[in-house]
Structure 1
Amino acid sequence: MTYHILHVDDEKEILKLLQMYLRNEDMQLHQAENGREALKLLAEQPIDLVIVDIMMPEVDGFELIRRIRKESNIPIMVISARIEASDRIFGLDIGADDYLTKPFDPHEATARVKALLRRYHSLGTALAKSSQLKVDKLRLDLHACVAYVADQPIELTAVEFRVLKLLMEQPGRVFTKEQIYSHGWQDSLTGYNNVRVMMSKLREKIGTERIKTIRGLGYRLEGHHERT
């Protein structure tokens, strides 16, 4: 299977570098030099993953992530020269699934892209045996990869989907930050601090009362489990 990757960056050397490495992995790379071009390509091409720079003209990376997340749940990886923790946290908070800083190792970037694609596209196959998870008024459709709160659809990132599935499979069980990190990001090297950011965002989406913080231990989902 050939994956279609959209790489958005105004540095042509970076575009050429990743094109060389990703092409060797049987990936077709579509390129854009700013967010406006990227949005046009997304509307015209079937894209499996987006790589986004932050500092770009016209529509910057943060705004591009926001606009993509309004329409799609595809994986988004940031590759940026902005190295501050606040930038990384903000990027992940608004919907990015991974964040890599420049200068970067192209082998690592390629590995991260492959990992995100593997996790995202396995959701429709490895999980196909189950149809839905229900915990009270919270429902997770495993075929469509969509969450519902009181039958209202909720947009989730790929990481949020994996973590919510983990919590909903065993409501009442306490999961440590390490377990959540391992299940959510798996072999994407982002750091445990991003668990707190992601859990905060997930609470906003499904209801703050549904996920409890167990001080010194981790998190648990409140409610009663039902599988259909």
Structure 2
Amino acid sequence: MEYISYDTKKIIIDEHLQQQRVIYHSCKRCFDLFFSSVGLVLLAPLFLIISFAIKVEDPKGSVFYSQTRIGENEKPFRMFKFRSMVSDADELLPTLLKENEVDGAMFKIKKDPRVTKIGKFIRKYSIDELPQLLNVFIGNMSLVGPRPPLPREVKYYTQYDKQRLAVKPGCTGLWQVTMRNDVGFRGMVHLDLEYIVRSSWKLDIYIILRTCIVFMRPNSAY
């Protein structure tokens, strides 16, 4: 199954058609609720270990990091992650913006000086994303969907880009398990829209399985 033709023609989302997929979206919510509940219980020991490691390296900061993200229909929400950066990371961001290595409305640099030692490890294996299971349980995220952007990123979105906000954002998605940091902003948008158009149980299961592989064999995440 191949889904990385990110340089093809533009994709236009049929919002009316998406609204008619009531059964798929209802079943997906039940799936999200069940597996986020199970995941939070089973991963509790890992959460304790990671929390201890974060506190040992940087006692000043909190274990978890919450950040405002933009979700479905441009609705803001608080997204949770394990803290992988120094406690004053947000204050240091303005000094690093000029070093952005990704085109478009997104910020990433491969050797971000704000990332801690434990942060590098949990990012490599995507462990820092696990607290988002709480977002899934609450209902402002899904297990599978587009990456939730920051408000400052959405300010630069075109109407075409905003199509990726037509569904709930996900903990993992087509972009994350295929190209991730190997493509720029346009490539990410295309893959997200491709997911929305092709979304199905088959594709969701494919993405979840690929995510499990990423945990065991990390991709180019940073």
Could you state the TM-score of these two structures normalised by the residue count of structure 2? 0.27
Q: Which has the higher contact order (CA 8 A, sep 6+)?
A: 2
Higher helix share: 2
Higher strand share: 1
Could you state the TM-score of these two structures normalised by the residue count of structure 1? 0.26
